[in-house]
Amino acid sequence: MERKFTIGSRGSDLALWQTGFTKNLLEKHFPQAAFDVRIIKTKGDAVLDTALSKIGDKGLFTKEIEHALIAEEIDLAVHSLKDLPTTQPAGLKIGAVSKRETPNDIFISKNYSSIADLPKNAKVATGSLRRKSQLLVFRPDLEIVEIRGNVPTRIERFLASDLDGMILAYAGVHRLGLDKYITQIIPTEILLPAVGQGVMAVEIREDDAEIAAMLETLDDADTNVCITAERAFLRRLEGGCQVPIGANAFLENGEIVLRGFVGSLDGKQVIRDSISGAKDSAEDLGIRLAEKCLDAGALEILGGARNAVADATGEVLF
């Protein structure tokens, strides 16, 4: 007998692309099963006139979907991994992660070929504190403008504006077929990505052995190792997706290389460090790199960043 499964997803173009991609893979591997999609609106989708950093930190784009999963209203959920808090709610777990897309951020501009090419005091749009901090390290003169909305909406609004540039994640732009707007793929030496950026994650109930077994066919082992290190780094720093923390892990000569960043919102206080080690020590590597950053003053820097966010108006300027 055919079993039906319901996949939970946000309603943005990117979320539906990612959910559709996962659904197609599952249908290919399990033609005897049926999969449908239920769109669930999250807090981050509902509040669009306030900076993300002012409306909360953890689970802005996942909490309502996770509630539906716990309540057994859906059977699995597809997320951008960077949106998932580093600790799952009781009873839930990550069942699979996709092969990682290029994790870098990208620069979009109508007139300038790169961030370095921008004129003095240029205006650049981003909704990310992580990007803001690192941009101001590289170009302290820039004016950073807050922006919200899904990927196509942000691109459309930028093209109609007088702003000089905008920063987005490569993965989202590429998955939606919008590569023609990419001016520069930004080196990670300038912008380290968000933890888990470029990775899709499928979240399930811990006690659902059937779906867990099915998802083994979708899980990418190398990506899983790398994001384990990144998420351990973020977890130890007690950071969420709305703090100026970046990390990128990759495999080199059979070992994990993990690079991390912690910075103040104005880019004047910065910690960059790295660590490497065996693939079976991913969690430990993330914790050890976080400890190195904490020893260098990360707690004070992050505390200052949180205080600055609390004092800000939270107005979306563009």
Q: Which residues have a catalytic role annotated?
A: 83
Q: What burial class does residue 315 get, using C-beta atoms within 10 Å of its C-beta: 0-12 exposed, 13-18 middle, 19+ buried?
A: exposed
Is 152 within 8 Å of 175 (Cβ atoms)? Answer: no
Give the separation between CA 318 and CA 306, rounded to whole angstroms: 22
Closest CA relative to residue 17, chosen from 73, 80, 63: 80
What does DSSP assign to residue 192? P
**Token pair belonging to 265:** 């919102």
In order, the DSSP letters of 84-144 are S-SSPPTTEEEEEEPPPPP--EEEE-SS-SSSTTSPTT-EEE-S-HHHHHHHHHH-TTPEE
Q: Are 112 and 164 in contact (CB under 8 A)?
A: yes
Name the residue type at position 317: L
Q: Distance between alpha carbon 195 and the CA centroid of its chain, in Å?
A: 6
Strands (E), 146-222: 165-169, 184-185, 200-205
Asked if 240 and 309 touch (Cβ cutoff 8 Å), the reply is no
